[in-house]
Amino acid sequence: MFAVVVIGGKQYRVAIGDVLEVERMAGDKGSAVSFDHVLLVSDGKKVKIGTPTVKGVQVKAKILDQAKGEKIDVRRYKSKVRYRKRRGFRPLLTTLEIISIG
Protein backbone atom coordinates (compact mmCIF):
# COMPACT_ATOMS: atom_id res chain seq x y z
CA MET A 1 0.00 0.00 0.00
CA PHE A 2 1.30 3.46 -0.86
CA ALA A 3 0.05 7.04 -1.09
CA VAL A 4 1.07 10.34 -2.65
CA VAL A 5 0.89 13.07 -0.01
CA VAL A 6 1.72 16.79 0.03
CA ILE A 7 4.11 17.75 2.84
CA GLY A 8 5.47 21.29 2.98
CA GLY A 9 4.32 22.09 -0.55
CA LYS A 10 6.10 19.09 -2.11
CA GLN A 11 4.68 15.72 -3.16
CA TYR A 12 6.07 12.49 -1.73
CA ARG A 13 5.29 8.85 -2.50
CA VAL A 14 5.13 7.11 0.87
CA ALA A 15 4.49 3.61 2.19
CA ILE A 16 4.20 2.30 5.73
CA GLY A 17 7.63 2.16 7.36
CA ASP A 18 9.29 4.68 5.01
CA VAL A 19 11.70 7.22 6.48
CA LEU A 20 11.98 10.53 4.64
CA GLU A 21 13.49 13.97 5.14
CA VAL A 22 11.27 16.99 4.55
CA GLU A 23 11.61 20.71 5.15
CA ARG A 24 11.46 21.77 8.81
CA MET A 25 8.09 21.19 10.47
CA ALA A 26 6.83 22.25 13.87
CA GLY A 27 7.00 19.52 16.51
CA ASP A 28 9.31 17.72 18.89
CA LYS A 29 11.11 14.40 18.54
CA GLY A 30 8.73 11.50 19.08
CA SER A 31 5.55 13.48 18.45
CA ALA A 32 2.99 12.30 15.91
CA VAL A 33 1.74 14.34 12.95
CA SER A 34 -0.97 13.64 10.40
CA PHE A 35 -1.42 14.83 6.83
CA ASP A 36 -4.86 15.25 5.26
CA HIS A 37 -3.70 16.41 1.83
CA VAL A 38 -3.52 12.96 0.20
CA LEU A 39 -3.62 13.01 -3.62
CA LEU A 40 -3.60 9.27 -4.39
CA VAL A 41 -3.97 5.98 -2.49
CA SER A 42 -3.23 2.49 -3.82
CA ASP A 43 -3.59 -0.87 -2.06
CA GLY A 44 -2.01 -2.91 -4.87
CA LYS A 45 -5.31 -3.70 -6.61
CA LYS A 46 -7.37 -0.51 -6.49
CA VAL A 47 -6.17 3.05 -7.01
CA LYS A 48 -8.10 6.03 -5.65
CA ILE A 49 -7.28 9.38 -7.21
CA GLY A 50 -8.46 12.51 -5.43
CA THR A 51 -10.22 15.48 -6.95
CA PRO A 52 -8.09 17.25 -5.65
CA THR A 53 -7.71 15.10 -2.50
CA VAL A 54 -8.93 11.68 -1.41
CA LYS A 55 -11.63 12.19 1.23
CA GLY A 56 -11.39 10.40 4.55
CA VAL A 57 -7.76 9.32 4.15
CA GLN A 58 -4.95 10.46 6.46
CA VAL A 59 -1.27 9.66 6.53
CA LYS A 60 0.15 9.50 10.06
CA ALA A 61 3.84 9.92 10.77
CA LYS A 62 6.22 10.16 13.71
CA ILE A 63 8.97 12.79 13.97
CA LEU A 64 12.31 11.03 14.40
CA ASP A 65 14.69 14.00 14.27
CA GLN A 66 14.98 17.76 13.78
CA ALA A 67 18.40 18.56 12.27
CA LYS A 68 20.37 20.52 9.71
CA GLY A 69 21.11 19.05 6.31
CA GLU A 70 24.41 18.90 4.48
CA LYS A 71 26.05 22.16 3.48
CA ILE A 72 25.22 23.53 0.05
CA ASP A 73 27.99 25.66 -1.43
CA VAL A 74 26.82 28.66 -3.46
CA ARG A 75 29.36 30.47 -5.64
CA ARG A 76 29.07 33.45 -7.94
CA TYR A 77 31.64 34.40 -10.52
CA LYS A 78 31.98 37.05 -13.19
CA SER A 79 34.78 36.75 -15.68
CA LYS A 80 37.25 39.56 -16.39
CA VAL A 81 36.24 41.71 -13.40
CA ARG A 82 37.63 39.61 -10.52
CA TYR A 83 34.22 39.26 -8.90
CA ARG A 84 33.90 36.14 -6.75
CA LYS A 85 31.44 35.42 -3.93
CA ARG A 86 31.14 32.27 -1.86
CA ARG A 87 28.30 31.50 0.47
CA GLY A 88 27.14 28.42 2.33
CA PHE A 89 23.70 27.21 3.28
CA ARG A 90 22.47 24.36 5.51
CA PRO A 91 18.75 23.61 5.22
CA LEU A 92 16.72 22.75 8.32
CA LEU A 93 15.20 19.27 7.95
CA THR A 94 12.72 17.04 9.75
CA THR A 95 13.03 13.25 9.53
CA LEU A 96 9.68 11.43 9.45
CA GLU A 97 8.70 7.78 9.71
CA ILE A 98 5.36 6.82 8.16
CA ILE A 99 3.20 4.92 10.66
CA SER A 100 -0.12 4.41 8.89
CA ILE A 101 -2.11 5.20 5.76
CA GLY A 102 -5.87 5.23 5.88
pLDDT attached to residue 84: 96
* Alpha-carbon span 74 to 30, nearest angstrom: 34
**Tally of domains in the chain:** 1
From the list 33, 28, 88, the residue with the least C-alpha distance to 60 is: 33
pLDDT level of residue 9 (50, 70, 90 thresholds): very high
Range of the domain at 95: 2-101
The answer to whether 58 and 36 are in contact (CB under 8 A) is yes
pLDDT attached to residue 22: 96
Beta bridge partners of 101: 59
Report residue 95 CA to chain centroid gap: 8
State pLDDT tens for residues 22-77.
999 999 999 999 999 999 999 989 999 999 999 999 999 999 999 999 999 999 99
pLDDT attached to residue 56: 93
pLDDT attached to residue 27: 94
Give how far Cα 49 sits from Cα of 24, 46, 57, 58, Å: 28, 10, 11, 14
pLDDT level of residue 92 (50, 70, 90 thresholds): very high
* Alpha-carbon span 53 to 38, nearest angstrom: 5
